[in-house]
Amino acid sequence: MKETRLILLIAIHFIFHPIGYGQKLSKQVAAYVEIQDSIVALKNVTLIDGTGGAVKYNQDILLRNNKISAIGNTGKLSLPENTKIVDATGKTVIPGLIMMHEHLFTAKPFNRNYKAIHMTNTFPQLYLAGGVTTMRTAGGVEANADLNIKNLIDQGRAVGPTIDVSTPHIERTGFIPQLQSLYGDESIENWLNYWFDKGVTSVKVYNNITKDDLREIIKVSHAKNIKVTGHLCSITYREAAELGIDNLEHSFMASTDFVMDKPENECVNGEPSLASVDDTSKAFLELISVLIEKNLTLTYTPNVFEPFTDREVIPGGGDVALAPYYLEQMQTIYNQRSNSERDSLSLISFKKEMKRVMKFHAMGGKITVGTDPTGSGKTIAGYSNQRLIELLMETGFSIEESIKIATLNGAEYLGIENETGTVEVGKEADLVLINGDLSKDISNIRKMELIFKNGIGFDSKKIFDSVKGKVGLY
């Protein structure tokens, strides 16, 4: 009798808490799971494995639990009898995207001012639906919420990627009231340790700090083996590199190195100075050499700078995700800026930056990527991550390079390249199944079908559909 009761209790437990290879999934999360079999074979795929190597055609991929067990030419692998077969003929597999400048909030621009609105429910889901299996927040306006969301996802109680949570943006003053975090003579070490003790694993510095601030931030963080990135202004890239910063955001678009007679520790508008900086200028090449010598990584974020003219209102097709009032607001901004003189200048700047990034890459510089859903509010989680792959191709990278930059490069920066970042035997089953041959048509990046995260296959379309019309509300 006791045995019968125990079996019944176990059965009930699994109905409401299905197991995902050591992870319990809530009923809400399980609703988006398409495949949870212990052994799965993806048959006859086109494989772009994230290593930068050539595209491979007619490949079979065998997944066992949460690992990639075998890869080989179609029909050559020995498959166990209980293998779930997925006929992926005409489809492409890439590694799960690893994005390094994401946020769990969206932008609410108004009358030249700015407010960040936390998208607690929609953005984590959208990131996963858009192929992101690992992301770094690169600064938060509600860092406690970011930590809680990470924990809920890790516990199988919410849908989303694995999250590397950053500190709130660290600066002393600025035009965004939500972002100021340092005051007076308070202890930077105490401030950082407060967040480290809560579970934060990255540090983000922002526009208005001093070199002394940054020196102390780097010292305290590195003592904990935690890396520091920055969207800088008051400190130049060269100064930050010499102080030992690990990462700089927005490639060269935030640089104030070329401002004549820039006051020390003072944030000034660097945009006009960049207009004359091309990829062949001596000063620019010297800066690249310093950054490479200091082993510094740049995060390229073309989405947030993408101009309006001749492009989608919400690049990546994310207009369907917006609440009606929010879409109307974005359409108004688009109408005002599209084909304007300001947008024409933005297009020139956008193209110049693409050349600068290509030069940095060609000289051996390290690049990761992210979308940064801020700015005018047109960068929407998930949709923008897919769009980013298109923008990498527009920049001039090959499809193999584009996927590597968006996967392995991020894994290497985070120190998880032995576990994820490429589709290779022995690594975690973090991969994306795309309907179509991505090597022949980059627009197929928008046709994701299954997102495998830690061996569990989530239905991309089902997740996207569940939050249509809700961004801006939740």
The pLDDT tens digits of the residues spanning 370-412 come to 999 999 999 999 999 999 999 999 999 999 999 999 999 999 9
Phi, psi values for residue 166, rounded to 5°:
-95, 165
User: Residue 139 to residues 54, 142, 166, 379: CA-CA distances in angstroms?
Assistant: 35, 9, 5, 16
Average per-residue pLDDT for the chain: 94
Q: How far apart are CA 77 and CA 59, in angstroms?
A: 10
Q: How far apart are CA 207 and CA 170, in angstroms?
A: 8
Note whether 156 and 454 are within 8 A (CB).
no
Phi, psi values for residue 62, rounded to 5°:
-105, 125
- 422-430 average pLDDT score: 98
Phi, psi values for residue 7, rounded to 5°:
-60, -40
User: Is the per-residue pLDDT at 305 higher than 80?
Assistant: yes
Helix (H, G, I), strand (E, B) or coil at 43: strand
Q: What is the pTM of this model?
A: 0.94
Note whether 408 and 95 are within 8 A (CB).
yes
User: Is the per-residue pLDDT at 11 higher than 50?
Assistant: no
- 112-132 average pLDDT score: 94
| Helix axis angle, 211-223 to 188-198, nearest 10° | 40
pLDDT digits (tens, 9 = 90+) for 186-239: 999 999 999 999 999 999 999 999 999 999 999 999 999 999 999 999 999 999
Task: Compute the CA torsion angle 10, 12, 17, 21 (nearest 10 deg).
Answer: 40
Look-up: residue for tokens 């972002």? 179
Token pair, residue 424, equals 């290779």
Note whether 74 and 43 are within 8 A (CB).
yes
pLDDT number for residue 226: 98
Phi, psi values for residue 33, rounded to 5°:
-90, 125
Using pLDDT thresholds of 50, 70 and 90, give the confidence band for residue 23. low
Cα 171 to the chain's mean position, in Å? Answer: 23
Lowest mean pLDDT among 44-48, 174-178, 233-237, 365-369: 174-178
pLDDT number for residue 359: 98
What are the chain's domains?
Answer: 1-31 (no CATH), 97-414 (3.20.20.140)
Using pLDDT thresholds of 50, 70 and 90, give the confidence band for residue 78. very high
Cα-only R_g, the chain: 23
- 314-318 average pLDDT score: 97
Sign of CA dihedral 282, 288, 292, 295: positive
Nearest to 427 by CA among 435, 417, 437: 417
Nearest to 234 by CA among 192, 275, 206, 260: 206
